[in-house]
Structure 1
Amino acid sequence: MTTAADGQPLVPQPPATVAALRQVLAQIAPATLPAFTRELDQAADQARYGSDLAPLRRFIAQWAVYVHIERQPDLAVEFRRWEDLAESGDASQARRAAAEIGRILDEAHSALALFPR
C-alpha cells in the first residue's frame, strides 16, 4: 500500500469509472482486485440480462465509496474498527457501530455526490 503524510489521503479520489477505480485499487488495496473483477462481471451480467444499467451504477458507487474510505488511512482504520465492533460487540455496541458505519458511508456518498443509495 502507498503511504501518505499524516492525515492526508494516499491518492486523489479517482473519477467514478471502472478503469480509474481499478487503477487506484491496484495502488492502495491490490488484494481487493479479484473481488472487484468478480463483482464487475456480476454487475455486467445483471445489466445485460435485465437491460438495465442500475447494477453497473451500484457497482461503481459501491467501489467509489470503498476507494474514498481506503485512500484515507485514518478513516479506513476507524471504519474497520466499527465493523469489528458490529460483529463482536453486544447488542448496544452493535447498534452504535451500525450507526457509525452508516454515518461514514453517508458522508462518503455525499462527498462523492454519487447516485443516491
Structure 2
Amino acid sequence: MSAQTDGPIEPLIPMPELTPDALRAAVARIAPSRIPALTQHLFEATTNAQQTQSLAPLRAFVLPQRGYPQWAVFVSIQRHPERAARLRELERIVDAGEQDPAAAITEIQAIRETAEAETGL
C-alpha cells in the first residue's frame, strides 16, 4: 500500500524550532489554511497556562493533546508534500470504510512515527 518515492525529496522548509512562534511561521508557509486552528489552539493553551499557572498547556500545544493536532508533527508531515498527500489518501481510505483499513492505519502510524522522529519527540 505504500507509495514511497525512490529517493529523498527535499522538504519545502527546514524543520522549525519547537516553539509556538516558529511553528506558527512554518504553518503560515506550508498550510496557511490551518492558521485559524493553530491560533485557536494556542489561545486556549495560553489561557489554560495562565489559569493553571503551569506551562503544561503550552507544552501540549507542541506535544500530543486529545482533539488537537500535534503541531510539530503536523509541520513535519506537511513540509513533505508527497508525505502529506499520502496521509490524506490513507485517511480518506479509513474514513470511507469501503475496505479493510488495517494496512492504511499501519501506514498512517508509520508516517506519524517518522514525523515524530524528525521533530525529536
The 2-side partners of 1:64 and 1:89 are apart by 29
Residue 28 of structure 1, CA deviation = 1.1
Which aligned runs of 4 or more in structure 1 are off by greater than 3 angstroms?
Answer: none
The 2-side partners of 1:65 and 1:31 are apart by 17
TM-score by length of 2: 0.79
Measured on the aligned residues, the alpha-carbon RMSD in Å equals 1.7
Determine which of 25, 38, 49 is the counterpart of 1:36.
38
Determine which of 74, 97, 111 is the counterpart of 1:66.
74
C-alpha contact (below 8 Å) 2:93/2:99 kept by paired residues: no
**In the alignment, is residue 96 of structure 1 matched against residue 98 of structure 2?**
no
Q: Which structure 2 residue ranges, 5 or more long, are not aligned?
A: 1-7, 64-69
Q: Which has the higher contact order (CA 8 A, sep 6+)?
A: 2
Task: Give me the identity figure in percent.
Answer: 39
TM-score by length of 1: 0.82
C-alpha contact (below 8 Å) 1:7/1:73 kept by paired residues: no
In the TM superposition, 1:43-82 aligns within 5 A as 43-61=45-63, 62-82=70-90
Q: Which structure 1 residue ranges, 5 or more long, are not aligned?
A: 1-5
Report how many residues are paired: 108
| Structure that is richer in helix per residue | 1
